[in-house]
Amino acid sequence: MSEPFDAVDVIRAKRDGHGLDDAQIDWVVDAYTRGAVADEQMSALAMAILLNGMDRREISRWTAAMIASGERMDFSALSRPTADKHSTGGVGDKITLPLAPLVAACGVAVPQLSGRGLGHTGGTLDKLEAIPGWRARMSNAEMLAQLEDVGAVICAAGDGLAPADKKLYALRDVTGTVEAIPLIASSIMSKKIAEGTGALVLDVKVGSGAFMKTVDDARELARTMVDLGTDAGVTTVALLTNMQTPLGLTAGNALEVRESVEVLAGGGPDDVVELTLALAREMLAAAGRDDVDPAEKLRDGSAMDVWRRMIAAQGGDPDAELPRARETHVVTAPAEGVLTQLDALKVGVAAWRLGAGRARKEDVVQAGAGVELHVKPGAPVRGGEPLMTLHTDTPERFERALEALQDSWFIAPDGSRPDLLPLVVERIAAE
């Protein structure tokens, strides 16, 4: 079949700083998906987009073309409104686990399509698979039935959602174009819009353990994604949140599930509880249910009830003993003072090296591996007291994990206080 455009002309247009028109965008995304545009041609276009950017119209059309490459889910038959959350990923970011059942307990259905971890950022599905019997794969019909019955589902995205994104994502990974904000934003939002949720809250991490290291970059990504959701008719809001230091006291799959259950039981680390409630309030407001107080649903056990039903509905045993690593190593404080710094990226890399993460998609993770923190920045420490405990089934991994943790913390004399970003840095809504 003859093609209406030449890929080289599209590449040249963006290379020379011109905007792509709607027809060019529709064609190039479709042609790449079906193989009429070669990988090397899309690589060149992705690099041109990285260097020269896209305006709001271009990004919105690019996202729409990615959505059009596959199916769209429809939750309009549900008896309650829907809201979803997406996090750009961080260290110890287990928020989805308590958040989905909490929002469901407040009367809003949560269709949470999640992914697996790669590198230092953990994957929600890997965490939940630490629960014996739990399964990530569900059909659309199963997902719809569980949303109506339980109110929340966390599962793997099907292959039918935005297949253009799956192909382009793999290409960006090996061509140095991952950082292009138009491509990051359209990748995330094409899947979330195709998922069919009525409202979306974005948790855009900023700091050493996040993809976006500066507030300005995180703000640009958040603004772009909020605009994309708004243009597609999805009520969308973003919170920029702190990822300078790990979230909570654990980084690792079973460790994070255990901590999430503590939050649902009314306890857990203050920062995890605070962020869970902040995101829940945003989701409820976006879905038109801001008359419900999510903090009350944590206190009265309603959120825990939904968690147990959600896990059981997907084959998991909410009462099962979670895996524990066979070996541990305690890292102690070398001196007395105040912990003023704990680098999220270095803790994340250590957890990865202990077996909690994967370097390639096909790697197997250790359910019990990870890092357990005993203090967070701002806390006093004494020499010889535990700072963290490393967990793994394979003790030969300790050496490389400890190498990753070198210079990851700083202990200042008593009286010093860390200069940290607040947990919620900024809120970005539709203009």
pLDDT-derived band at 250 (thresholds 50, 70, 90) equals very high
Is 337 found in the same domain as 195? no
Domain-embedded: residue 69: no
Can you point out the beta strands (E) in 48-125? 84-87, 110-114
pLDDT of 264 over the 90 cut: yes
Summarize the confidence of residues 312-338 as an average pLDDT: 96
Give the mean pLDDT of the chain. 94
Predicted pLDDT of residue 176: 87
pLDDT-derived band at 178 (thresholds 50, 70, 90) equals confident
Structure tokens at 101: 């059942």
Predicted pLDDT of residue 11: 97
pLDDT of 170 over the 90 cut: no
Taking only the tens place, the pLDDT of each residue in 4-40 is 989 999 999 999 999 999 999 999 999 999 999 999 9
CATH number at residue 199: 3.40.1030.10
Distance of CA 357 to the CA centre of its chain: 14
Predicted pLDDT of residue 100: 98
pLDDT of 327 over the 90 cut: yes
Which residue would you say has higher pLDDT here, 122 or 94? 94
Domain-embedded: residue 294: yes
Handedness of CA 67, 72, 73, 77 (dihedral sign): positive
Structure tokens at 76: 């309009």
Summarize the confidence of residues 104-128 as an average pLDDT: 86
Domain-embedded: residue 78: no
Is 360 found in the same domain as 257? no
pLDDT of 160 over the 90 cut: no
Residue after which a domain boundary falls, among 299, 320, 341: 320
At 36 the three-state DSSP class reads: coil
Is 168 found in the same domain as 88? yes
Is 161 found in the same domain as 184? yes
Is 340 found in the same domain as 314? no
Domain-embedded: residue 74: no
Domain-embedded: residue 70: no
pLDDT of 358 over the 90 cut: no
CATH number at residue 404: 3.90.1170.30
With left for phi above 0 and alpha for psi between -120 and 50, is residue 301 left, alpha or beta? left
Task: Tell me the DSSP string of 153-171.
Answer: EEEEPPTTS-HHHHHHHHH
Domain that holds residue 34: 7-53
Is 151 found in the same domain as 129? yes
Is 370 found in the same domain as 277? no
> Looking at the 3D structure of the chain, how many domains does it have?
3
- How far is CA 427 from each of CA 72, 163, 273, 355, rounded to the nearest angstrom? 28, 31, 18, 35
Mean pLDDT lowest among 135-139, 177-181, 241-245, 271-275:
177-181
- How far is CA 57 from each of CA 18, 54, 94, 206, 426, rounded to the nearest angstrom? 13, 8, 34, 26, 25
Q: What are phi and psi of 139, to 5 degrees?
A: -75, 165
Among the ranges 94-98, 175-179, 375-379, which has the highest mean pLDDT value?
A: 94-98
| Active site amino acids | 86, 165, 172, 187, 191
Distance of CA 127 to the CA centre of its chain: 12
The candidate with the shortest Cα–Cα distance to 94, out of 123, 116, 66, is 123
Is 342 found in the same domain as 261? no
Is 111 found in the same domain as 208? yes
Residue after which a domain boundary falls, among 285, 320, 355: 320
Q: What share of the chain is helix, strand, coil (3-state, %, to 5)?
A: 45, 15, 40
pLDDT of 114 over the 90 cut: no
Is 352 found in the same domain as 205? no
pLDDT-derived band at 1 (thresholds 50, 70, 90) equals low
Domain-embedded: residue 287: yes
Domain-embedded: residue 170: yes
Residue after which a domain boundary falls, among 320, 354, 375: 320
Is 293 found in the same domain as 150? yes
Domain-embedded: residue 425: no
Predicted pLDDT of residue 118: 61
CATH number at residue 40: 1.20.970.10
What is the identity of the amino acid at 344? A
Which stretches within 215-301 are classed as H helix? 215-231, 253-264, 270-286, 294-299
Is 224 found in the same domain as 104? yes
Taking only the tens place, the pLDDT of each residue in 362-377 is 778 999 999 999 999 9
